[in-house]
Amino acid sequence: MTTSRQGQVRRTPDLPLVLARGSGVSLAVQLGDQLRAAMRARVLPAGERLPSTRGLASRLGVSRTVVTEAYQQLYAEGWLEGRHGSGTYVADLPDVAAPPLAPDRAGPPGAAVAYDYHQAADGAIDLRPGTSWVRDFDQAAWRRAWRRAAEVPLSSRPDPYGLPRLRDALATHLRRSRAVPVDPADIMITRGTGNGLDLVAATLLRPGDRVGVEEPGYSKARTIFAARGAEIVPCPVDEDGLIVDDLPGDLRLVYTTPAHQFPCGGRLPISRRERLLHWARRTGAVIVEDDYDAEFRYDAAPLPALYGLDPGSVVLLGTMSKSLASDVGVGWLMASPALLRAVGETRARLSDRTPGPVQAAVAVLVERGDLDRHLRRMRLEYARRREAIVAALGPLVRGDTAGLHVMVELPGHAVDRVTEGAARRGVLVDTTGRHHHGPVRVHGLVLGYGSASLPDVRKGCAVIASLIKGAPPACAAPASPAPRARPPW
């Protein structure tokens, strides 16, 4: 936490800095280039204080000289200014260029959406994914937000793009928590990811259009696209996420979860992100980036959102469902100005909106820092639960660098036995099989840690570990900790 020149309390943005050793470019030059890009994109705005050389060096695992050299270069170029005893700040450069925006890709509308939800039996330990832990949310902050929201007069002509005040607050929040350089004008407030997917589908899809969805992947995305007349094209994933090189060239859009693949947990590497964007530019397809749980990350530096790399090819969907609770019913959609305008027109035609009072309440939570405080607390709590899962099921766990769920890889023949055995002992788990469109190709459990307390996660995992050990030798978990193997898929 630092203080800006205006005296406001600020947090240093969580920048996705990635330095590659042995790339032929010195680490200091790489760091300088990335900081310069962040300043140009205003992810680091004028007046922002940079981390100390010691702090940044330790975060990046490099020597302090690397950071000092990069800062000195940027200082010499006029990007930075230093004040004796008070740190290094981004200089005020009024004519710095903003990131590029791209062409229109809008099309006509189509029809409706289906929903499902699950409820755990009393006393069961629910390790299924899809929910967040909301019991510890600050109730005083919640009541205060609604009191303030109630003071905002109701509007008879609500803005289809959402409350400007919430769009402003979210732009600042996303810049810091996801390093996404976004202008409030590029944001639409939705009722969550499902609503955003439907608006994009209604805007872009004609009956019969081919839409790629990760396989295995988020079944609600498939349902929503299919309900709008699309032909669903399953696009396989591996342990890193979407297999970009195998994408067909005739997709209208592709749905992906690059920060934490649902349900296998892969984190799309930079090289694949770049190839995916190149594919989209070449084929004219739109990438729909579902950024549903990216605010929770463990032991891994954040990677830049696809939207931040090329706002012209990508629609980013975010949601309060994981950072707070799905009950809030607020999310966001970011797109190029032309596409956002088209989505706004679709919304007006469908008489679709996000209720104003809930937007006002969420704006108060974001502006007052209540959401940030909750996220900080929950990052620690979720990290403990995730550690408990890794401690119990170690070498079988995949996709534990982010989010609120992991995958536990098992041989196909063991999945039903473990799932049913766990249910008989009061532990509910999900399987990867449920998330396939076609034949099951990735076998395992999907364990969420948003609904169960730390002691329950431990108990549930002990049950699962004992059931796995009881499996025939070919699929038993190793008795002693073993190095994590690369998954075969």
Ligand X SMILES: Cc1ncc(COP(=O)(O)O)c(C=O)c1O
Residues that bind ligand X (CB under 6 A): 130, 192-194, 218, 257, 262, 290, 292, 319, 321, 326, 331
3-state secondary structure of 194: helix
As measured in angstroms, the least distance from the Cβ of 217 to ligand X is 8
For residue 478, give both structure tokens: 């190793």
**Minimum CB distance to ligand X smaller for 80 or for 288:** 288
3-state secondary structure of 76: helix
Distance CA 444, CA 452 (A): 20
As measured in angstroms, the least distance from the Cβ of 326 to ligand X is 4
As measured in angstroms, the least distance from the Cβ of 333 to ligand X is 11
As measured in angstroms, the least distance from the Cβ of 51 to ligand X is 31
Cα-based distances in Å from 166 to 153, 155, 332, 359, 479: 15, 15, 10, 6, 51
Distance CA 267, CA 443 (A): 19
Determine which helix (DSSP H) or strand (DSSP E) holds 242, and give its type and residue range: strand 241-242
In eight-state DSSP terms, residue 83 is E
As measured in angstroms, the least distance from the Cβ of 283 to ligand X is 24
**Minimum CB distance to ligand X smaller for 430 or for 456:** 430
End-to-end CA distance of the chain: 42
**Minimum CB distance to ligand X smaller for 30 or for 193:** 193
The per-residue DSSP string of 291-354 comes to -TTTT-B-SSPPPPPHHHH-TTTEEEEEEHIIIIIGGG--EEEE--HHHHHHHHHHHHHHT---
Instruction: Give the angle 455-291-55 at the CA atoms, nearest 5°.
Output: 75
Distance CA 27, CA 18 (A): 10
Would you say 308 and 180 are in contact if contact means Cβ atoms under 8 Å apart? yes
As measured in angstroms, the least distance from the Cβ of 429 to ligand X is 15
As measured in angstroms, the least distance from the Cβ of 454 to ligand X is 21
As measured in angstroms, the least distance from the Cβ of 290 to ligand X is 5
**Minimum CB distance to ligand X smaller for 315 or for 463:** 315
**Minimum CB distance to ligand X smaller for 216 or for 331:** 331
As measured in angstroms, the least distance from the Cβ of 233 to ligand X is 18
**Minimum CB distance to ligand X smaller for 79 or for 218:** 218
Instruction: Give the angle 332-338-339 at the CA atoms, nearest 5°.
Output: 45
Which residues neighbour 156 within 8 Å (Cβ) at sequence distance 6 or greater?
Answer: none
As measured in angstroms, the least distance from the Cβ of 163 to ligand X is 18
**Minimum CB distance to ligand X smaller for 117 or for 155:** 117
As measured in angstroms, the least distance from the Cβ of 287 to ligand X is 15
**Minimum CB distance to ligand X smaller for 79 or for 292:** 292
As measured in angstroms, the least distance from the Cβ of 321 to ligand X is 3
The per-residue DSSP string of 107-128 comes to -------------PPTT-EE--
**Minimum CB distance to ligand X smaller for 142 or for 262:** 262
**Minimum CB distance to ligand X smaller for 122 or for 327:** 327
Distance CA 97, CA 41 (A): 7
Cα-based distances in Å from 217 to 168, 336, 451: 32, 25, 21
Would you say 322 and 132 are in contact if contact means Cβ atoms under 8 Å apart? yes
**Minimum CB distance to ligand X smaller for 167 or for 260:** 260
For residue 368, give both structure tokens: 């007052």
Cis peptide before 263 (omega within 30 of 0): yes
Q: Name the residue number minimizing CB distance to ligand X.
A: 192
**Minimum CB distance to ligand X smaller for 230 or for 294:** 294
Distance CA 361, CA 118 (A): 27
